[in-house]
């Protein structure tokens, strides 16, 4: 191997009470065709057998690095991994999702084609709880500098924590702690403000387990997440007033439709009238 093909990829896996699926998730890393990786397993105060599962993997394979902390939330847990990683590239993996065997290799191949590319994504297969049947497929449909597309919430370049990043020197990588919704989108926007191109592979890079931690199950939290994100956007360089207004209109529309879909007309009206 040479060049990018031999690059170290850091995979950051925060987990909390994930005993049901964690072993399957970690096995998907062991099955990667690109074997030069390190995985930071961040135990965010689990009270089940997750710690034992993670420690067993770490004892058997030194590429797994285990760390535990008091429960502080997914953003704080990811920040631990970001602070410890040593890879040339990095990505995230939720503790109940699975990487197909070429997930790392296919994204690295895109990086190899253009040194200006900083973010690489790919197709996501949304599957049932057993990962047996495909419920839907998400494919990116945007390439270029992603900041404006992310702020516009087009759905063309953002599904969730699916990007792989080229790790740059002198760049700070950290999530804003305290967010319960929208933390992935904010992190992407904050990184995209510095430039860099977004590309994607047409290969499937993630098998997403449907039904876990859906934002739609907590609409109040989702609404507050959007409002917090709106406030944070004022600090992002390159975001115009017109884009801020567009973000506010789009997220307000999303919330009204979500509340109405959940048969909560009063909450929908409140979301429509509430000042930001």
Two tokens, residue 9: 């990829």
Q: What is the pLDDT of residue 149?
A: 98
Contact 153, 222 (CB under 8 A): no
| Residue 33 CB-density burial (10 A; 0-12 exposed, 13-18 middle, 19+ buried) | exposed
- The highest-level CATH class for domain 3-213 is alpha beta
Domain boundaries, the chain: 3-213, 216-273
Local confidence pLDDT in tens for the 276 residues of the chain: 457 878 999 999 999 999 999 999 999 999 999 999 999 999 999 999 999 999 999 999 999 999 999 999 999 999 999 999 999 999 999 999 999 999 999 999 999 999 999 999 999 999 999 999 999 999 999 999 999 999 999 999 999 999 999 999 989 999 999 887 889 999 999 999 999 999 999 999 999 999 755 545 588 888 888 999 999 999 999 999 999 999 999 999 999 888 888 878 887 778 776 776
Give the C-alpha distances (Å, rounded to integers) separating 226 from 157, 184, 230, 247, 267. Answer: 18, 12, 6, 9, 15
Q: What is the pLDDT of residue 211?
A: 75
Q: In sequence order, which residues have a C-beta less than 8 Å from that of residue 138 and are 6 or more positions away?
A: 123, 124, 126, 159
Q: What is the pLDDT of residue 2?
A: 54
Q: In sequence order, which residues have a C-beta less than 8 Å from that of residue 57 and are 6 or more positions away?
A: 23, 26, 41, 64
Give the C-alpha distances (Å, rounded to integers) separating 160 from 61, 76, 155, 179, 227. Answer: 28, 17, 10, 15, 18
Q: What is the pLDDT of residue 217?
A: 57
Query: What CA dihedral angle connects 233, 235, 239 and 242, to 10 degrees?
Result: 70
Which helix (H) or strand (E) segment holds residue 171: the answer is: none
Report the alpha-carbon distance of residue 73 to residue 35 in Å, rounded: 29
Task: Name the 3-class secondary structure at 145.
Answer: coil
For the four alpha carbons of 106, 187, 10 and 132, in that order, the dihedral sign comes to negative
Backbone angles phi, psi at 163, to 5 degrees: -75, 145
Report the alpha-carbon distance of residue 197 to residue 2 in Å, rounded: 23
């Amino acid at each position: 191997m040479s060049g990018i093909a031999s690059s170290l990829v850091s995979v950051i896996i925060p987990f909390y009470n994930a005993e049901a699926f964690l072993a399957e998730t970690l096995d998907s890393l062991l099955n990667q065709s690109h074997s030069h990786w390190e995985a930071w397993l961040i135990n965010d105060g689990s009270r089940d057998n997750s710690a034992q599962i993670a420690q067993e993997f770490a004892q058997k394979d030194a590429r797994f690095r285990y760390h535990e902390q008091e429960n502080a939330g997914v953003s704080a847990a990811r920040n631990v991994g970001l602070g410890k990683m040593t890879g040339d590239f990095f990505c995230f993996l939720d503790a109940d999702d699975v990487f197909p065997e070429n997930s790392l290799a296919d994204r690295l191949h895109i990086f190899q084609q253009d040194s200006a590319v900083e973010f690489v994504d790919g197709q996501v297969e949304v599957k049932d709880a057993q990962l047996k049947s495909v419920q839907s497929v998400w494919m990116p449909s945007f390439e270029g500098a992603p900041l404006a597309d992310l702020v516009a919430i087009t759905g063309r370049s953002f599904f969730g924590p699916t990007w792989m990043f080229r790790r740059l020197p002198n760049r700070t990588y950290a999530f804003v702690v305290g967010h319960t919704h929208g933390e992935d989108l904010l992190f992407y926007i904050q990184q995209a403000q510095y430039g860099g191109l977004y590309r994607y592979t047409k290969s499937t890079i993630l098998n997403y387990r449907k039904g876990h931690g859906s934002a739609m199950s907590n609409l109040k939290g989702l609404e507050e997440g959007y409002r917090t994100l709106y406030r944070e956007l004022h600090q992002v360089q390159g975001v115009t007033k017109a884009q801020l207004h567009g973000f506010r209109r789009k997220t307000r529309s999303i919330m009204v439709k979500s509340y109405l879909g959940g048969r909560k007309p009063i909450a929908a009206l409140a979301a429509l009238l509430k000042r930001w």
